[in-house]
A and B are shown apart, each in its own frame.
Chain A
């Protein structure tokens, strides 16, 4: 386990069988260190979300071993999951509130996070009056208040239009460059997977196993040029090929 020394997130031969007997994950091994951004692609129902639930502690794995630094964990879901009766400001303060951080500090952190996701001026709005993209940014800001060392993303931008999704990808990468957290990001999109990550994992159909792993050896910041470069296209082809195999 020398390779995982200093890693914030270590999956070692992790398996997960649900109480009803469904085998969701089998023999999953990988690590994510601070400053790494790992994306996971795979067929629907392959247990990608289960992976994050295990990492966060919402579920407990049934075999293997799992080490996560859960003191400061960020978790962004498919939906923004905001409290509809709270304003943007109060929603962003929620996690600090649950961690009993004092009100002055809470407010300060929320202001800073809201500023980081470019929502300054919308503090007093209720989620009802925000677009889908803005809600996701409130959700991001909420996690940022804990200054996460591990940041989990469960297909956060799947429901958004492409332009909004690409802009939010850039925002997350900016945050990543700034905070150097250990990122684990689930997605359906090969392009999103490559654009965002330092490493792409491809999973098989249920029970989910990691069947391929690709390094993405390109630096940050990334931009449109990267998205349309030959190297990007080539890597997309390889990941796509592996993903096709996973469906077989």
Chain B
């Protein structure tokens, strides 16, 4: 074999990277290769939808809600709020983002929720991964703990929040607990699934060559779990933002997060800022989702068959 070079099925000497099939969505969130023009074309669809939504919004505000307001200036507070549910988008921008004082208030709330969701997610990751690893190594641990992991997931968080408030107060720690509870389960299940996803044949090879339990874990199970683990992170990242805001919202006191602010603006009939708070919380959720999607692609795209790019 050394003397005869058989070109079997080997590609030519310059291997090409696998062409990436890119969907519009993934291209927006995770821009791949391609010329600037190609990237721009992929943005046309989402931008058109965005433009249309804003257009319809203006139409609704202008055609239906504004006249109602004008005709009945002396309406009571509740009615005034209903009429102003859809303020003009430029009013929202003006009131929430260009007014320094209001913006500072929103940013303060946003910052609290960023701290809550990131710290909560980090704690959930440590507990979740440790738990999943323990369960993957010993069946009895899984049998003992997994039902309670499901329990924590299925108990309505809305029912749990007031209890947590009663026991732990309404401070940062209590809110953190809400975040950890809400984001724990997807990390546990996905990591556990990932740790078990290694091919049977690969396990046989490790068995055949006398690998220790530790070697098998470090060289086989852990790397195999990365894609699923990252998916778990991505799901939990979105949930952690929801957890932070739900915590704020229901505690309704203490330091002001976006959740408190939302309640506050509803009570104070400040629809422009209400929409501003909604926008910030949505953007935070979107940001963590995209960030973990990017991280997952970064860690697994080179080798994982199921990865997007």
B303 contacts A127, CB within 8 Å?
A: yes
- Contacts A77-B204, A79-B201, A127-B303; is A167 near B2 (CB within 8 Å)? no
Which chain A residues numbered 142 to 179 have a C-beta less than 8 Å away from chain B?
163-164, 167-168, 170-171, 174-175, 178
A168 contacts B199, CB within 8 Å?
A: no
Interface check B28, CB cutoff 8 A:
no
Interface size (B, Cβ < 8 Å)? 35
- Contacts A118-B10, A134-B10, A171-B1; is A98 near B204 (CB within 8 Å)? no
Q: Which of A115, A122, A129, A167 contacts B18 (CB 8 A)?
A: A129
Chain A residues near B52 (CB, 8 Å)?
none
Which chain B residues numbered 195 to 249 have a C-beta less than 8 Å away from chain A?
199, 201-202, 204-211, 215, 219-220, 223-224, 226
CA distance A170 to B4 in the complex (A): 11
A128 contacts B305, CB within 8 Å?
A: yes
B303 contacts A98, CB within 8 Å?
A: no
Chain A residues near B207 (CB, 8 Å)?
58
CA distance A75 to B223 in the complex (A): 23
Interface check A119, CB cutoff 8 A:
yes
Main SS at interface, chain B:
loop
Q: Mark A79-117, 1 if CB is under 8 A from B, else 0.
A: 101011110000000110111000000000000000111
A167 contacts B8, CB within 8 Å?
A: yes
B209 contacts A95, CB within 8 Å?
A: yes
CA distance A75 to B44 in the complex (A): 53
Interface check B156, CB cutoff 8 A:
no
Q: Which of B201, B224, B300, B305 has the most CB of A within 10 A?
A: B201
B208 contacts A58, CB within 8 Å?
A: yes
B1 contacts A133, CB within 8 Å?
A: no
Minimal beta-carbon separation of B7 from chain A (angstroms): 8
Interface check A180, CB cutoff 8 A:
no
Nearest opposing residue in chain B for A174, CB measure: B1
Interface check B304, CB cutoff 8 A:
yes
Chain A residues near B223 (CB, 8 Å)?
83, 85
B18 contacts A168, CB within 8 Å?
A: no
Interface check A48, CB cutoff 8 A:
no
Chain A residues near B13 (CB, 8 Å)?
121
Interface check B143, CB cutoff 8 A:
no
Chain A residues near B10 (CB, 8 Å)?
118-119, 122, 134
CA distance A92 to B302 in the complex (A): 18
Nearest opposing residue in chain A for B209, CB measure: A98
Q: Which of B2, B8, B202, B208 contacts A73 (CB 8 A)?
A: B208
Nearest opposing residue in chain A for B226, CB measure: A85
Interface check A4, CB cutoff 8 A:
no
Q: Which of A73, A98, A128, A164 contacts B206 (CB 8 A)?
A: A98
Q: Which of B15, B17, B202, B304 contacts A122 (CB 8 A)?
A: B15
Interface check A57, CB cutoff 8 A:
yes
B18 contacts A128, CB within 8 Å?
A: yes
Which chain B residues numbered 6 to 59 have a C-beta less than 8 Å away from chain A?
6, 8-11, 13, 15, 17-18
Interface check B154, CB cutoff 8 A:
no
CA distance A137 to B1 in the complex (A): 13
Chain A residues near B17 (CB, 8 Å)?
129
Q: Which of B9, B15, B199, B209 contacts A81 (CB 8 A)?
A: B199
A178 contacts B18, CB within 8 Å?
A: no
Chain A residues near B300 (CB, 8 Å)?
85
CA distance A90 to B206 in the complex (A): 15
Q: Which of B6, B199, B201, B210 contacts A98 (CB 8 A)?
A: B210
Minimal beta-carbon separation of B27 from chain A (angstroms): 20
B209 contacts A83, CB within 8 Å?
A: no
Minimal beta-carbon separation of B272 from chain A (angstroms): 50
CA distance A118 to B4 in the complex (A): 9
CA distance A57 to B15 in the complex (A): 39
- Contacts A118-B6, A174-B1; is A99 near B201 (CB within 8 Å)? no
- Contacts A116-B2, A134-B9; is A77 near B209 (CB within 8 Å)? no
Complex A-B: 26 CB contacts under 8 Å: A56-B208, A57-B208, A58-B204, A58-B208, A73-B208, A77-B201, A81-B202, A85-B226, A85-B304, A94-B205, A98-B206, A115-B2, A116-B2, A118-B1, A121-B13, A122-B10, A126-B303, A128-B303, A129-B15, A131-B11, A132-B9, A133-B8, A134-B8, A134-B9, A164-B9, A178-B1
Q: Other CB < 8 Å A-B pairs besides A134-B8, A175-B1, 14 of them?
A: A58-B207, A83-B220, A84-B304, A94-B205, A98-B206, A98-B211, A98-B215, A118-B5, A118-B6, A126-B303, A127-B303, A128-B302, A128-B303, A167-B6
Shortest Cβ-Cβ A-B pairs, 3 listed: A174-B1, A81-B201, A98-B209
